[in-house]
Structure 1
Amino acid sequence: MARSTRRPHRGRHVAFLALAATLIGCGGAQDAPQAATVAQDTRSPAPGTTQARPGSTAAGAAASASPSVPTRLPGLGPRTLAEIPENARQVVIATGADRKSPRSQVVLYRRTPMGWEPGATWPAHNALKGWTDNHHADDLRSPIGVFALTDAGGRLADPGTELPYDRSQGFTIGGTGFEGEPLAGSFDYVVAINYNRQAGTSPLDWTRPLGAEKGGGIWLHVDHGGPTHGCVSLARNNIRELLRALDPDQHPVIVMGDAQSLGR
């Protein structure tokens, strides 16, 4: 594995056996250890699939904010907003259509003196059975919550991200998803979502602080055209754009879940 030298690796080096059949990220193999797969099979886990498992504005900002720049993150209720760290200056919001839907949309917001500036809205997929606030391994639901984004990687070379980036053939994936679509290339670029994982390590590190039964390997990764096992997937160009935008100095987080849950 080749870890980018752009920023020092903040966790211990993790050796990983790069076998697509045993990879368990959001798009690894069906019987891989503990990952929330990104496969797309509404019937039963397809062979080769896996599961891999955001501040207040400055005083006076409300008065000066442009109508196009919200002073508060749209769609988020008080409970969700309270979970966003005060130091977060980049917030990725992944909003599911409803509790049981595998379709969602993603927007990156940047905090400015005027308020929260939104980027483009990107279509996305989430888990086959939608969302849950009590995620478990292999439940085919994406976890609801606010999670830091600290580490990235992929099978292909670093596209220019400021996040620590682990390039490794361990991100190779094969097989088909829930709808028979090929999974190859799904892990060409990934951003680890810090649900039940050790921050500061490669996305390929399968350490599960909450225990294996709580799943893990939840990633943002390349969309393969269907539901995932727990991850959030974006079109290749969109995830490359997101990787280049994320800045660890801005303490990026992802807020993810169905619209009703996030609005609480």
Structure 2
Amino acid sequence: MIRRRSALAALASPLLLTGCGGGAEATERRTPSRRPAPAPAHPTSTQPAPRSIPGLGSGRSAEIPARCRQAVVVSGRGSDSPHCTVVLHQRTPDGWQSGPAWPAHNALHGWSAHHMSGDLRSPLGVYTLSDAGGRLPDPGSGLPYHRSGGFRSPGTGFRGEPLEGSFDYVIAIDYNRRPGTTPLDWTRPLGPERGGGVWLHVDHGGPTHGCVSVAKAHMKTLLRTLETHRHPVVVMGHADWLAR
């Protein structure tokens, strides 16, 4: 039984941010998506690009929309593990180009095919990435960016680590949310019992409530690279599930 409670778990009111499985309404400044200056996404290679994303089986690959040109793959260490790896893949005329592998965290208890509010598991699935935001100014996001003081992350996490700065930058994962709105929007199309507020956000050094977290520098890279017109998605789950 876990006796330590994160401050995020205590923010249960819809008037307060809960993130990582929750959400809230807040006043924000919204900026439209902005395309960053062209730059090579990954080092050039003489090796041919694979036609499919490494690590994904035919079932998972089939769930990626044909129009998608960017896929963030979150590969969990195990079905009950909070540790994962994040890789950004970009589709080119020659195939999928893979970026570097970044260490990351997912939910404390791992993964779920039927995520429920409070289960401390991240939802398995392929989800679009439509909106971003954070407490800090827009770093040059290719997605609509919602800046707000509502992106608060007080208290400590499951390992006693401070949560301050976790929501400096976030990208909303379109699980049980309304795309085209701030990540703080409280709308839950599947119902509140199915959770929500599942984001990519800045890593705080420990497991999350349902989100996926990577280092701050990597969040800035994602924000500056993902672009609305390239229809980005996240493919997330433990490695065995991804391989199906």
Structure 1 length-normalised TM? 0.78
Query: Structure 1 pair 68/191, CA: closer, same or farther in 2 (3 Å)?
Result: same
1:51 Cα deviation after fit: 4.8
Q: Identify which of 160, 183, 186 aligns with 1:206.
A: 186
Amino acid aligned to 1:144 = L
- In structure 1, what residue type is equivalent to 2:126? V
- Report the Cα distance in structure 1 between the residues aligned to 2:106 and 2:48, rounded to whole angstroms: 28
The corresponding residue for 1:219 is 199
Give yes or no for the alignment of 1:168 onto 2:148.
yes
Paired with 1:143 and 1:175, the residues of 2 have a C-alpha distance of 24
Contact 1:149–1:253 under 8 Å retained in 2: yes
For 1:163-204, what per-residue CA distance to the aligned partner results, in whole angstroms no more than 9, with x for missing partners? 100000000220000010000100000000000000000000
Counterpart of 1:156, as a letter, is: L
Q: Which residue of 2 aligns with 1:73?
A: 53
Partner Cα distance (1:239, 1:218) in 2 = 15
Give the secondary structure class of the aligned counterpart of 1:208: coil
SS in structure 1 of the partner of residue 229 of structure 2? helix
In the alignment, residue 187 of structure 1 is paired with which amino acid?
Answer: F
Point out 4+ residue stretches in structure 1 off by more than 2 angstroms. Answer: 26-31, 33-38, 65-68
Uncovered stretches (5+) of structure 2, i.e. residues with no partner: 1-5, 24-44
RMSD (Å) for aligned C-alpha atoms? 1.9
DSSP-derived class of the 1:256 partner: strand
Q: Deviations over 1:201-222 (max 9, x none)?
A: 0000010000001000000000
- How much does 1:37 deviate? 5.2
State the alpha-carbon separation in 2 of the partners of residues 85 and 66 from structure 1. 28
Per-residue deviation at 1:128?
0.2
State the SS of the aligned residue for 2:102: strand
In structure 2, relative to structure 1, the CA distance for the partners of 1:36 and 1:82 (3 Å cut) is farther
The yes-or-no answer on 1:99 pairing with 2:79 is: yes
TM alignment of 1:132-143, pairs within 5 A: 132-143=112-123
Give aligned-pair identity as a percent. Answer: 57
Which residue in the other structure is 1:228 paired with?
Answer: 208
Contact 2:19/2:199, CA 8 A, preserved across alignment: no
| Residue 224 (structure 2) aligns with | 244
1:65-96 superposed Cα distances (whole Å, 9 cap, x missing partner): 96352111111112111111110000000000
| CA distance 1:193–1:252, shift in 2 (3 Å) | same
Deviations for 1:39-66, whole angstroms, at most 9, x for unmatched residues? xxxxxxxxxxx756xxxxxxxxxxxx96
Which 10-residue stretch deviates more, 28-37 or 245-254?
28-37
176 and 208 in structure 1: CA distance in 2 versus 1, 3 angstrom threshold: same
Q: Judging changes above 3 Å, is the alpha-carbon distance between structure 1 residues 36 and 103 closer, same or farther for their aligned structure 2 residues?
A: farther
Task: Give the partner amino acid of 2:115.
Answer: H
User: Where do residues 1-264 of structure 1 align in structure 2 (5 Å cutoff)?
Assistant: 28-33=8-13, 38=20, 51=22, 67-264=47-244
